[in-house]
Amino acid sequence: MIPEQNLQNEKKKKKRGKKAPESTETIPDFLHEVLGRNIAVVFHNGETVAGRLLELSKFWIKVEDANGQIVHMNKAFITRIYPITKQ
């Protein structure tokens, strides 16, 4: 390579930003405490859905509603989750 081209390539490499280090820390999630129990889910628009919490993932929860229908809900739209106790 010509020395001038080599300097230009190094400048281009330096202009690119560094990647942010990947964080190994996670935000604590307490949904495992109500896994398998009946819950009420409140969304950001105020809508409420009741059912049994079946599964959890990083961004989704899987709930079986009163009709036996399986519903997948994105955690980003959920504001509250209440455990329902049978009386």
Residue 86: pLDDT over 80? no
Has residue 12 been placed in a domain?
no
Report pLDDT digits (tens) over 27-48: 677 888 889 999 999 999 999 9
Q: Which residues of 23-50 are buried (b: 16+ CB within 10 A; e: fewer)?
A: eeeeeeeeeeebeeebbebeeeeeeeee
In a domain, 59, yes or no: yes
Does the structure show a pLDDT above 90 at 67? yes
Residue 81 domain boundaries: 27-87
In-domain check, residue 20: no
pLDDT at 17: 61
In a domain? residue 10: no
What pLDDT was estimated at residue 77? 95
Q: Is residue 3 part of a domain?
A: no
- Please compute the mean of the pLDDT values over residues 7-28 and round it to a whole number: 62
19 belongs to a structural domain: no
Domain count, the chain: 1
CATH number at residue 76: 2.30.30.100
